[in-house]
Amino acid sequence: MSTFQAPKGTYDLIPPRSAKFLAVREAISAPLKNSGYGYIETPGFENVELFARGVGESTDIVSKEMYAFETKGGTKLALRPEGTASVLRAALEANLHKAGNLPVKLWYSGSYYRYERPQAGRYRHFSQVGAEAIGAEDPALDAELIILADQAYRTLGLREFRILLNSLGDKECRPVYRDALQGFLRELDLDEDTRRRIEINPLRVLDDKRADVQKQLVGAPMLRDYLCDACKAYHEEVRELLTAAGVAFEDDEKLVRGLDYYTRTTFEFVHDGLGSQSAVGGGGRYDGLSEMIGGPELPSVGWALGVDRTVLALEAEGIELELPASTSVFAVPLGEEARRVLFGIVTELRREGIATDFAFGGRGLKGAMKSANRSGARYTIVAGERDLGEGVVQIKNMESGEQSAVALGLVVEELRSRLSS
Ligand code: ATP
Ligand code: MG
């Protein structure tokens, strides 16, 4: 160990477990790439104001969890705590919403930072794959995104996840509900912090996990009873499209999500094997966000799935992903001359697209064969002075142990045909 360790709340992805993270990112993004979503990458930090306005001053994310700092030049920046505000900012800046047909569909993958209390499944640096569909109000778009996330999780083999679904109403009906809820909440016996929350963001009080708070919330007015006809019809359509697609979901009228920008459809993917950090991903419609950050009216919908928690979910279900062995052929030279010849063959095999590795460092046969075993290679090629003198190398089948001599000029051809069978 060196003098240094990974900072608190962070961890390193190292082989072999790191391969699962790549596979999860690939599995989540594949259905998006296949459905008209283009890849977008934005900076790891943004003007702090973007998140303050976009995510919401009163949210935990902005008020407690953000890594905000001032540059030497006096600019106030923040490490990105989430993806949506940045992606929308970038889309507006590039005028993507004017360039062609709406919606603009984008997907992203990257690191996010939140100063949280570290615990299982909750880190200060984590990664997400997300998708945003900008500039269209269409229940089929909400349904599409939920269906694609469901498809991603199913391809990974996950079974013990559930989809929670709710509607948060719109600018017509939400204020009416908000008033009614505030009236109810103000009568309860709550602490200072929560009382303050009632005035800033009363819906989030419903999300309070404490049992004594939950007990008092029985009988609280429910948004469902306040939804306007347009919101009701929209939500019903989303539900019907999901049902028609065979995607099971649960209505959860208490699902409000921690971000201020959500309107209408909101959803969360939860996994039952993860303990208290059970949300693996979430999202929803954010029709007002563009205007909140100074853009035009652009009703949009999106989600972000947490890669770290998805890997934990795979492990909780005991799912072994079928990851192709990273090495198919391993080369073991015995002596200087063999080192040059086999290194040449290794290069040739790699150019043919065959995953090949080499015993570096001039160790003895025993150590080199150990590396060959550990690499997971199906074949090892071994050559010493005598083999080269006869113009051959030995090809060893690592599973059966069988070994045969193959002429130098035919090695690549021979391995290609053996590997494809
Ligand atoms: P939670 O309720 O667990 O705090 P959240 O509502 O803050 O989650 P979102 O902002 O919706 O989470 O982010 C989407 C996903 O990103 C989460 O479902 C989760 O998988 C992942 N995520 C969020 N925060 C963290 C974190 N601190 N560490 C690891 N993953 C995280
Ligand atoms: Mg959170």
Between the CA of 279 and the centroid of ligand 1 the distance, in Å, is: 7
pLDDT band for position 52 (cuts 50, 70, 90): very high
Cβ atoms of 374 and 332 closer than 8 Å? no
> Which tokens hold the place of 204?
């989030």
Measured CA to CA, the distance from residue 302 to residue 40 in angstroms comes to 14
The one-character DSSP state at 101 is S
Q: What angle do CA 277, 280, 284 make, to 5 degrees?
A: 120
Name the band, by pLDDT with cuts 50, 70 and 90, for residue 394: very high
pLDDT in tens, 132-181: 999 999 999 999 999 999 999 999 999 999 999 999 999 899 999 999 99
Position with higher pLDDT, 2 vs 44: 44
Looking at residue 190, what is its pLDDT? 93
Cβ(271) to ligand 1 under 6 A? no
d(CA 130, CA 83): 7
Question: Where are the domain boundaries for CATH 3.30.930.10 in the chain?
Answer: 17-173+227-316
pLDDT at 325 over 90: no
Residue-wise pLDDT for 194-242, tens only, equals: 999 899 888 889 888 899 999 999 999 999 999 999 999 999 999 999 9
Which residue, judged by its Cα, is nearest atom 10 of ligand 1?
A: 82
Residue 259 has pLDDT above 70, yes or no: no
Q: Which atom of ligand 1 is nearest to the CA of 128?
A: 16
Query: From the CB of 260, is ligand 1 less than 6 Å away?
Result: no
For 329-420, CATH gives 3.40.50.800
Bigger pLDDT: 314 vs 263 = 314
CB 308 less than 6 A from any atom of ligand 1: yes
pLDDT 10s digits, 356-393: 999 999 888 999 999 999 999 999 999 999 999 999 99
Strand partners, 380: 330, 396
Give tens-digit pLDDT for 57-97.
878 899 899 999 999 999 999 999 999 999 999 999 999 99
- Quote the ligand 1 centre to 281 CA distance (angstroms): 7
Strand partners, 356: 329
- Cβ-proximal residues to 269 (8 Å cutoff; 6+ apart), any chain: 149, 153, 161, 162, 163, 164, 279, 280, 281, 282, 305
Give the ligand with the smallest distance to the CA of 306.
1
Question: What is the mean pLDDT of the segment spanning 280-286?
Answer: 96
- CB-ligand 1 contact for 105 (6 Å cutoff): no
**pLDDT for residue 261 is more than 80:** no
Residue 115 has pLDDT above 70, yes or no: yes
CA distance linking residue 56 with residue 293, whole number of Å: 11
CB burial readout 5-18, b (16+ within 10 A) else e: eeeebeeeeeeeee
pLDDT confidence bin for 4, thresholds 50/70/90: very high
Average pLDDT, the chain: 95
Q: Which of 112, 124, 127, 271 to mutate to test the pocket of ligand 1 (most atoms within 8 A of CB)?
A: 112
Average pLDDT of the segment spanning 93-114: 95
Atom number in ligand 1 closest to CA 277:
3
Compute the distance from residue 412 Cα to the ligand 2 centre, in Å.
Answer: 53
pLDDT score recorded for residue 206: 86
Q: Is the pLDDT of residue 339 over 80?
A: yes
pLDDT confidence of residue 258: 64
81 lines ligand 1 (CB under 6 A): no
Residue to probe by mutation, ligand 1, list 303, 308, 311, most atoms within 8 Å of CB: 308
SS3 134: strand
Residues 6 or more apart whose Cβ sits within 8 Å of residue 71: 77
Of all atoms in ligand 1, which is nearest to the CA of residue 124?
27
Contact 226, 169 (CB under 8 A): yes
Start-end of CATH 3.40.50.800 domains in the chain = 329-420
Which CATH class name applies to 17-173+227-316? alpha beta
Cα–Cα distance between 58 and 258 in angstroms, integer? 10
> Are the C-beta atoms of 255 and 164 separated by less than 8 Å?
yes
The CB of 205 under 6 Å from ligand 1? The reply is no
For residues 237-264, average pLDDT: 90
- CB of 277 within 6 A of ligand 1: the answer is yes
